[in-house]
Every structure is written in structure tokens, then in C-alpha cells.
Amino acid sequence: MEWVHGWRAMGVDCKVVCPVTLDAQWFEDATAAYEQTFSRFRADSALRVLSRRGHGNVNADLQQLLLASLDIAHWTTGMVVPHLGAALEAIGYDRTYATIVPNSAPIDVPHIPDWRHISVRGQAVSLPPGTQLDLNGVAKGWIAQRLAERTAQPRVLVEIGGEVAVIAPADDPWCVAIDHPTAAEPLALLRLAVGTVATSSTRERRWLRAGSVVHHIIDPRTALPAATDVVTASVIAHDGVYAEAAAKVCVLLGATRGAAWLTDRQLPGLIYTEDQHVLTTPFLDPFLWEYDR
């Protein structure tokens, strides 16, 4: 029997699973502290304060996640960037998702500054004028992985809003289900001993704006929700920020180009499309958990 603890933080469901009982309050306190640092919806969060001022010294967590986000921006050649807060606010995502209401006003598309002008030197950060940071795209996987590592347990699973980090012996891996967007049966079951699984979806956070359906995955090339045939994309990677970024790239590029992008980088991935097709990369095969349907 495994110990399971669930809670809410950062507007998402969180969970930890371990063979031994852990300190549940420690997980809740840790995610609350991360939320206070990274939240785009708290006026006093370290992220919002930095965006307002445009410069300043930041704490170690924000420094590390900003550096990781800039690495991701380089790796994805600017497809996944850390400063789309203004674009998200322009489509109505200026509050927690649960409180968004339909809005008939047209979208005033903002100018997005060049991410390459974001400077992180030690803990001193400088932002180009007009920058509004949004790190949630990489924060959930980053947090899940760090919480799992900080438990110092030989077998543990941490999930933050669908982003999963696991640690387990090689001969006793976790079974991680990739949820189907519309059906009860999972798209796939994955066997994973060490690493992360991230899923990016255009179905989970969508609402009406100016008579059209919009979602929260912004294409930095247009500063608008991505026009894509991808419903969900799931990627396995050793590092949570790379798994999340790769899944988002698949959404931005579309199913065929996204699968090719993953394959070129030898990443295990699965993509589910609007026409209900499933695309996988060859590198996913060793992770598939066979089961009787």
C-alpha cells in the first residue's frame, strides 16, 4: 500500500505518492512558497514585482527558473519563451483560470519584446521595456522534479498540474497514464523509473473571447493562441523544463512537424490530433507499458 497525498496549489491539482509516509505539510508549504515566487496572479509575487520594476535582484528560485527558461528559449529557437504575460492578459487570462468569464471585446494584440534582451547576471535581472514574465509554462515540471529530488526517497512520484516527476529502481518503474482528452481509457501507459513526463493541451484551458474559442498556449510569433491540429502532446525527458517545452513545441508546430522535431532530438513523445490520430516517435517504444485492453 502506497501513501498518497493530494492538495491544490498554483491553481492546479498536486499529488505525491510514496511507499512510506512523508510530511504532507512540507509539500504544501513548499508549493505555497513557489507560488509566492512565480505566480502571475499575485501582485506581491517576486515575478510580478520584477515585471513591474523591470530590474532588480531576485531570489535563488526565480533566478534558476529564469535561467532555465532562457536555456529553453535558445533550445527551441524562440518558440518557448518566458515573457508572454501580456499576450495572455490580452486574451483574458489575467486572473486564475477558474474565474475567467467570456468577453466580447476584440483582442488587442500586444508587442512582445525580444527575449534575447532579458539579462540574468547572478541574481541581478534586467528586462526589456514592456516585458511581462510568465513562467508557468516551465514552472510546474521544474517544481515537480525538485520536490521529488528533495524527498531523498528511492521511490517517489510527484505530480503538479499533470506534470509528473518520478524516481524509482530500474527494475520497479512507475506506471504513468497519459490521459485521453475525451475518453476514459488512457492514450498510453508509460513505464518510467527516473525522469519526467509533461503534457501540453489546447483543451484544458479554453474560453470564449470575441465570439471565438481561445486557449492558453500562445504562439510567440503572433502573440495569439496557437493555431494547431494538436489536442495534446506528451513528452518524456530527464529534465522537467525540457519535457514541458518540447510538448509545447509540438502544439506550436502542429502534429506532423512536431513529431519530426521530437524525432530529430531523439525524444520519446506522443501526439493526439483534432482528427483523433495518434502520432508517436520511435523513442517512445521502450517506455510503453503493455497491458490487456
Cell numbers of 231, please? 489536442
User: What residue ranges define each of the domains in the chain, with the CATH number in brackets?
Assistant: 3-287 (3.10.520.10)
Residue that has been written with the C-alpha cell 513528452 in this structure: 235
Q: Is the separation of the CB atoms in 219 and 225 below 8 Å? A: yes
Q: For position 1, what pLDDT does the model report?
A: 80
**pLDDT tens, the chain, 293 aa long:** 899 999 999 889 999 999 999 999 999 999 999 999 999 999 999 999 999 999 999 999 999 999 999 999 999 999 999 999 999 999 988 888 888 888 888 888 899 999 999 999 999 999 999 999 999 878 999 999 999 999 999 999 999 998 999 999 999 999 999 999 989 999 999 999 999 999 999 988 888 888 888 899 999 999 999 999 999 999 999 999 999 999 999 999 999 999 999 999 999 999 999 999 999 999 999 999 975 44
Q: For position 81, what pLDDT does the model report?
A: 97
Beta strand 163-167 with 194-201 is: antiparallel
The whole model's pTM is what? 0.94
Terminal CA-CA length for the chain: 25
How many CB atoms lie under 10 A from the CB of residue 151?
19
| Burial profile 232-243: b = 16 or more Cβ within 10 angstroms, e = fewer | bbbbbbebbbbb
Q: Give dist(CA 76, CA 244) in Å, integer.
A: 12
Q: Is 174 helix (H, G, I), strand (E, B) or coil?
A: strand
Cell numbers of 127, please? 528586462
Question: What beta strand segments (E) does the chain contain?
Answer: 3-9, 12-18, 55-57, 119-121, 124-126, 156-160, 163-167, 174-178, 188-192, 194-201, 206-209, 212-215, 218-219, 224-225, 230-237, 269-273, 278-280
Q: Is 217 helix (H, G, I), strand (E, B) or coil?
A: coil
SS3 string, 48-102, reads HHHHHHCEEECCHHHHHHHHHHHHHHHHCCCCCCCCCHHHHHHCCCCCCHHHCCC
Q: How many helices (H) and strands (E) does the chain have?
A: 7, 17
How many CB atoms lie under 10 A from the CB of residue 44?
8
State phi, psi for 39 to the nearest 5 degrees: -65, 135
Distances (CA, A) of 105 to 19, 84, 202, 211: 51, 20, 22, 9
Cell numbers of 226, please? 496557437
